[in-house]
Amino acid sequence: MRVHLGSDHAGLELKAHLATWLTDHGYEPVDHGPFVYDAVDDYPVFCLRAAEGVVADRAEGRDSLGVVIGGSGNGEQIAANKVVGCRAALAWSEETASLGREHNDANVVAVGGRMHSLDDMTRFVQVFLETPFSGDERHVRRIGMLSSYEETHVLPPLPASARRGDA
């Protein structure tokens, strides 16, 4: 499996560690940068490329996921989610890493390089990469709603139980 990586300066060290870890565990890392420390770099430059790499690979039928890394992972997740077809999940525990794949079929995981130990973050990435999407109908339906909105910008209809009596 190919794994696209992108970060900012706060994630540079973890990204380098993950590239080695991925290779050692049979993955094919693709590093979208940065490649040198720059305290004022801009994470969108690298995270958008990582997310685009995942989406392009999947469009070609290639098994591919991504990891974006920053100080908290929040901005990196937001950046990745701007790429049409990307579903990035922020992981701060093994459970959130697993649920991002299992329930949301996330294809990119965001982690915070300043939030956890190197071992914990590596484990979050491992869990994310090893967890399959459940394929459960309710999750497929919800992802379909998001994909439809992404393409059309038309909101899904409210269920009858959520409608106001005066609407």
Which residues are known to be catalytic?
76, 103
> 68 with 50: CB under 8 angstroms?
yes
Answer for the pair 5, 43: CB distance below 8 angstroms, yes or no. no
Q: Give the C-alpha separation, 156 to 72, whole Å.
A: 31
Q: DSSP letter at 163?
A: S
Burial of 78 (0-12, 13-18, 19+ CB in 10 A): middle
CA distance readout (Å), 140 to 30, 68, 80, 104, 145: 28, 24, 21, 8, 9
Q: Say how far apart CA 124 and CA 92 lie, in whole Å.
A: 7
Q: Which two tokens stand for residue 161?
A: 């139980």
